[in-house]
């Protein structure tokens, strides 16, 4: 028992030091320039009213995930869409009456071409679909975060979707030597090549959320970054609530570029907007 406690203590200490070093490096290279989304051009409620009057519909991929759950709640509370469709591998159950008008399309992601109809007739698409290498293995991770995401975007584009919002990751780079960042960067580039009228890519840092399947390392990292970001820059971590708010608020805007990338500081700025 003493040996076990000693081993766990050493492991925790090593992990803490590692997280501290990573945080220090990120802080050193932090971009402290102000976000271009520091303020919205018009009053949020005015923007919401204008958008609501356009009678648009949307779909959400990954509504059962941590960010997807909060995004759905935010969309329902702000009520800017006339119809919301959840596209996923299983039917979700909700007790609150606020969810009773949702449409759910159950699909087999391995045979998405057979479910093209589920992606038709939507104006806006939100993608929070994803897994981890630790959970699904390298092949499973690529299949979900690249293959499923890209095929869904292709079907959405073919089905008439003009605006696509993709949750990615800070550091995404198709030339990266790290599988996670490489896959994220590849799918970003390939979705941009589809030519949506508007594409918004969100690159949050460490997501601050208490996952139900939380692993010790993830838990410690989130606690550390949460405390660290409270007194330092917001470039390293962000709450999923802020990410969801940013995605909804950004939907209301009309950017100059057809495709835009929102880094963590941009997401944090938009995530502060009170859309209620």
Helix (H, G, I), strand (E, B) or coil at 259: strand
Higher pLDDT, 26 or 117: 117
Per-residue model confidence as pLDDT tens digits over 204-217: 999 997 655 444 54
Per-residue model confidence as pLDDT tens digits over 53-110: 999 999 999 999 999 999 999 999 999 999 999 999 999 999 999 999 999 999 999 9
Rounded-to-integer distance, Cα 48 and Cα 75, Å: 11
> Residue 37 catalytic?
no
**What average pLDDT does this structure show over 124-134?**
94
Q: 139: which 2 tokens?
A: 């092949």
pLDDT at 235: 62
pLDDT at 182: 98
pTM higher than 0.85: no
Q: What is the number of residues in the chain?
A: 276
pLDDT over threshold 60, residue 34: no
Q: Distance from CA of residue 218 to its chain's centroid?
A: 17
Per-residue model confidence as pLDDT tens digits over 2-19: 554 455 455 555 555 555
pLDDT at 36: 65
Rounded-to-integer distance, Cα 267 and Cα 2, Å: 46
Catalytic pick from 37, 180, 245, 265?
Answer: 180
pLDDT at 30: 52
Per-residue model confidence as pLDDT tens digits over 207-259: 997 655 444 544 455 454 444 444 444 567 999 999 999 999 999 998 889 99
Place of tokens 């329902």: 76
pLDDT at 236: 78
Per-residue model confidence as pLDDT tens digits over 263-273: 999 999 999 86
* Range name among 137-151, 184-198, 221-235 with the lowest pLDDT average: 221-235
Assigned CATH for 48-271: 3.40.50.720
pLDDT over threshold 70, residue 131: yes
Rounded-to-integer distance, Cα 128 and Cα 200, Å: 12
> Residue 120 catalytic?
no
pLDDT over threshold 70, residue 274: no
Instruction: State the DSSP H helix or E strand holding residue 91, giving kind and residue range, or none if neither.
Output: none
Catalytic pick from 69, 184, 245, 265?
Answer: 184
């Amino acid at each position: 028992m003493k040996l076990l406690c000693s081993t766990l203590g050493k492991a925790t200490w090593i992990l803490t030091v590692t997280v501290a070093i990573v945080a220090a490096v990120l802080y050193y290279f932090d971009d402290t320039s102000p976000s271009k989304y520091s303020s919205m051009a018009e009053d949020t409620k005015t923007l919401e009213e204008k958008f609501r009057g356009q009678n648009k519909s949307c779909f959400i991929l990954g509504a059962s995930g941590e960010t997807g759950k909060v995004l759905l709640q935010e969309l329902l509370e702000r009520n800017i869409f006339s119809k919301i469709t959840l596209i996923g591998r299983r039917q979700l159950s909700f007790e609150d009456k606020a969810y009773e008008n949702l449409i759910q399309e159950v699909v087999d992601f391995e045979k998405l071409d057979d479910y093209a109809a589920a992606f038709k007739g939507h104006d806006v698409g939100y993608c929070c679909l994803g897994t981890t290498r630790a959970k699904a293995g390298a092949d499973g991770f690529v299949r979900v975060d690249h293959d499923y995401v890209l095929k869904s975007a292709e079907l959405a584009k073919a089905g008439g979707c003009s605006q696509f919002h993709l949750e990615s990751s800070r550091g995404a780079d198709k030339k990266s030597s790290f599988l996670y960042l490489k896959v994220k960067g590849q799918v970003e580039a390939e979705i941009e090549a589809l030519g949506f009228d508007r594409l918004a890519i969100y690159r949050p840092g460490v997501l601050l959320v208490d996952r139900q399947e939380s692993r010790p390392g993830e838990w410690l990292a989130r606690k550390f970054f949460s405390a660290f970001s409270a007194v330092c820059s917001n470039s390293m971590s962000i709450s999923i609530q802020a990410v969801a708010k940013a995605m909804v608020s950004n939907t209301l805007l009309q950017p100059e570029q057809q495709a835009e990338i929102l880094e963590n500081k941009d997401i944090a700025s938009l995530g502060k907007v009170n859309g209620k």
